[in-house]
Amino acid sequence: MPPLTLDTPHGPARVHLHRPDGPPTGALLLGHGAGGGVAAPDLVAATAVANELGATVGLVEQPYRVAGRRNAAPARQLDAAWEAVVAGLRERGELDPALPLVAGGRSSGARVACRTAAATGAAGILCLAFPLQPPVRAGREPRPSRLPELEAVPAGVPVLIVQGVRDRFGMPEAAPGREVVAIKGDHGLKSDRAALRAALAAWLPGVLGTR
């Protein structure tokens, strides 16, 4: 089916919906990386696993990407657009409030999901290649860690991070309610799709309540 276009405070966003064969068990909403799109291999793999588990999947294109820009919008705009997309999908009946919503994405999309977890009422957060520590550029001061964004997820909301062992953005640490699965590969998560799928297949049923 063609993607849905939803209004946000910063322009239209697009949502590519992938529905399961039967009645949905919940929903997985995923955002893309800062310079990438919703066809990234890890997002495609997550979509397949979630559909197999009976979840509806929405792949969200932020307004700046819909407008054809590659440079990411500021965090406050990304967050506001994400929250508007969730609200719009609920108004249209695409997200059943009685079913769990897992929010997430790859890299920048994972950050957005973490920052908005409370506002969207997410039942779980899926982080694919979370960009914990920006690499230091020659002649520049190190930029701060994004750990506070992970820690902003409300207590009791489970988090899964799938991270490549050679990710140049570092490896987040596990914590209560936060599981970290390290797999072969780098920030692109392209090297071991079987391990990626296995991690998702082990974690998602517990959040969706299908285990």
Q: Give CA separation, 165 vs 70, 145, 188, in Å.
A: 27, 18, 11
Does the pLDDT value for residue 152 go beyond 80?
A: yes
Q: Is the pTM of this model over 0.85?
A: yes
- What proportions of the chain, in percent to the nearest 5, are helix, strand and coil? 30, 25, 45
Query: Residue 63 corresponds to which tokens in the numbers above?
Result: 């307004």
* pLDDT on residue 68: 93
pLDDT tens across 192-211, in order? 999 999 999 999 999 998 86
pLDDT tens across 158-191, in order? 999 999 999 999 999 999 999 999 999 999 999 9
* pLDDT on residue 70: 86
d(CA 119, CA 102): 13
pLDDT tens across 128-144, in order? 999 999 887 777 777 88
H-type helices in the chain, by residue range? 41-52, 63-66, 75-91, 108-115, 117-120, 147-151, 193-208
- The CATH number linked to 52 is 3.40.50.1820
Mean pLDDT of the 11-16 span: 98
Count of structural domains, the chain = 1
Domain that holds residue 47: 4-208
Q: Give CA separation, 84 vs 12, 34, 46, 60, in Å.
A: 10, 19, 23, 11
A 10 A CB-CB count for 15 gives: 21
The chain-wide mean pLDDT, for the chain, equals: 95
pLDDT tens across 60-77, in order? 999 999 999 989 999 999
Per-residue confidence band for 153, with pLDDT thresholds at 50, 70 and 90: very high
pLDDT tens across 79-97, in order? 999 999 999 999 999 999 9
* pLDDT on residue 137: 78
